[in-house]
Amino acid sequence: MIASRYIIIGRRFCGPPQSGNGGYTCGMLAAAAATPLEVRLIRPPPLDQPLEVREDPENSQILLLHGDHQVASGKPKTFDLDVPEAPGYAEALAAARNYAGFREHAYPNCFVCGPERARGDGMRIFASALEGRSVFAAPWLPDQSLAGSDRKVLPEFMWAALDCPGYFATGAHARGPLLGQFVAHVDRRVHVGEACVVIGWLIGREGRKHYTGTAVFDENGEICGRARATWIELKAPAGAAA
């Protein structure tokens, strides 16, 4: 599939303060593999460190390694996902004014959804509940820093956009769940400055696990990418208050 190579998750692309945004990291691994992957995150991806992308043909997977430590693994995967109807850009913009992350955010500097990131630095995708629907939505205007020479958003940033709306759709964002498993498919890369909408919705729950779907739509309401994620709430330390 691929020869061993290295990628670096730059500090700009953090999720929690000292680790990479999960969707971006998964997208970088999928881009390195050049094949659709379902990625399992095993430990927080370190920032500004060379991470080895290595084939594991015995187990039909791709590994992401930091020294001797396994950060993530990916296996070839295709998937089906029923996607809700897209809201309009104006509807998503109105919803974002009530973004819960403005009031409380476990990771306020997250590259994708952090409200403390400036325009042109973070992606500022602020997914919020749509009135009367079990869907969270955000407007998104991609900037030039996310694009290749063709002025289309690079695949790893499409994966990143598909990450955090699912985080808020869990309903557990105040407890800071972490991305455990992620699979995405990009139908078409959107253009710089295109008035896009990103949505997230809850598929189900199982104990501390939350299953969500997400999708990106272009300015014409056509679907451009979709993803399915498993979010995991960490166990409270022994003796901690409820």
**pLDDT value, residue 174:** 81
**pLDDT value, residue 237:** 53
**pLDDT value, residue 2:** 57
pLDDT in tens, 3-27: 568 999 999 999 999 999 999 999 9
Q: How far apart are CA 115 and CA 113, in angstroms?
A: 6
SS3 (DSSP) at 168: helix
Residue 81 domain-assigned?
A: no
Domain count for the chain, please give it.
Answer: 2
Q: Are residues 94 and 159 in the same domain?
A: yes
User: For 226, phi and psi rounded to 5 degrees?
Assistant: -145, 155
pLDDT in tens, 158-213: 999 999 999 999 998 888 899 999 999 999 999 999 999 999 999 999 999 999 99
User: Tokens 């930091």 sit at which residue?
Assistant: 66
Q: Are residues 113 and 201 in the same domain?
A: yes
Q: Are residues 208 and 132 in the same domain?
A: yes
The pTM score is 0.94
Q: What percent of the chain has pLDDT over 70?
A: 95
Q: What is the CATH number of the domain that holds 156?
A: 3.10.129.10
215 has which bridge partners? 199, 226
Distances, alpha carbon 110 to alpha carbons 29, 79, 93, in Å: 19, 27, 20
Q: Are residues 132 and 27 in the same domain?
A: no
Write out the residue range of the structural domain in which residue 51 sits. 5-76
Last residue of a domain, one of 47, 76, 105: 76
